[in-house]
């Protein structure tokens, strides 16, 4: 009886640990799947367009995420208050921010050329509008949500 209890406890503990380990990757996959269905619906993608566009879109999202991760990883090291930083340190932070934005722009330009090959321009323009709304969180949106909760 004790052996069964220990085995069950071990099983549930492992299941919990594995579930938490997969959550980050699963969360990204869940968001991509949700975005896929939204894009298919809003852009009215044909089967051929879906097969050509969605894998490119996934690459695009991963490239942007990698660029963001690279920038934010270097930014978080030794985080200090602005008043505690020297002019040289502040300049370095600003230059890194420019590099991040340039990296994002380069990714967008590169994938724009790829997207043009698989989608008509009207659908591509509509995609940019939808994509911006999907993944951009502004302060006004957050404030609006906070007001609704009250």
Domain-located, residue 32? no
- For 97-145, what is each residue's pLDDT tens digit? 999 999 999 999 999 999 999 999 999 999 999 988 876 654 445 555 5
Domain-located, residue 111? yes
Q: What is the pLDDT of residue 62?
A: 95
Report which of residues 46 and 6 the model is more confident about: 46
Report which of residues 144 and 83 the model is more confident about: 83
- Count: domains in the chain: 1
Domain-located, residue 97? yes
Domain-located, residue 7? no
> Which domain covers residue 59, as residue numbers?
44-149
Given a cut of 70, whether residue 8 has pLDDT beyond it is: no
Position 75 confidence tier, pLDDT thresholds 50, 70, 90: low
d(CA 150, CA 148): 5
Domain-located, residue 63? yes
Domain-located, residue 54? yes
d(CA 72, CA 16): 29
Domain-located, residue 130? yes
Given a cut of 50, whether residue 36 has pLDDT beyond it is: yes
Average pLDDT over the chain reads: 79
Domain-located, residue 106? yes
CB atoms within 10 A of CB 42: 14
């Amino acid at each position: 009886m004790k052996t069964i209890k220990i085995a069950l406890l071990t099983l549930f503990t492992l299941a919990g640990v594995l579930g938490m380990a997969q959550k980050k990757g699963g969360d990204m996959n869940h968001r991509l799947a949700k975005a896929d269905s939204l894009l298919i619906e809003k852009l009215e993608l044909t089967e051929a367009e879906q097969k050509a566009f969605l894998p490119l879109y996934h690459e695009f999202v991963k490239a942007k995420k990698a660029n963001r991760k690279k920038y934010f990883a270097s930014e978080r090291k030794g985080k200090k208050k602005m008043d505690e930083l020297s002019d040289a340190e502040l300049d370095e932070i600003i230059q890194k921010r420019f590099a991040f934005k340039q990296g994002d722009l380069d990714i967008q330009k590169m994938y724009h050329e790829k997207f043009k090959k698989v989608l008509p321009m009207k659908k591509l323009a509509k995609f940019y509008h939808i994509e911006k709304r999907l993944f951009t969180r502004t302060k006004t949106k957050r404030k609006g949500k906070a007001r609704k909760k009250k």
